[in-house]
Amino acid sequence: MQALGLFVLTAIAEIVGCWLVLMWRKPEGATWLLVPAALCLAGFAWLLTLHPAASGRVYAAYGGVYVATALGWLWAVDGVRPGMPDLIGGGLILAGALVIIGGHWPSAAP
C-alpha cells in the first residue's frame, strides 16, 4: 500500500509539472510557471528513485498508476468526465500495475 501511495504522489508530481509547462505554452502563459514545473518534474524523477525494486519494474508499475491518476486529473482539473472506454482501460491498466506491485514488493503483513 505504501508503494501505491508513493506512485500516486509521483504521478501527481509528473502531471502537475507537465500541466504547468502546458500552461506556460498558452498565449497568456507566464515564464515564471517554468520554475514550479521544473521543481515538480525534478521531484517526480526523485520520487521514482525511492523504490527498492529494479527500475524497469518500478516504471512498469508506475505507468499503470499514472494512467489512473491522469484520468482522475482529466475529471478533476480539466472538467472532462472519463467515458466508459477510459474507465475500462484505466481499470485494466491499474489492475496490471497492482499485480506487479503486489507480486514483487514486500507486504506489511508477516
In the chain, where the domains are located: 2-104
Judged on CB neighbours under 10 Å (0-12, 13-18, 19+), 89 is middle
Task: Write out the three cell numbers for 103.
Answer: 507480486
pLDDT score recorded for residue 83: 96
| Positions in the chain short of pLDDT 50 | 108-110
pTM as predicted: 0.79
pLDDT score recorded for residue 64: 87
pLDDT score recorded for residue 57: 78
Give Cα 89 to chain centroid, integer Å: 16
pLDDT score recorded for residue 107: 55
pLDDT score recorded for residue 105: 57
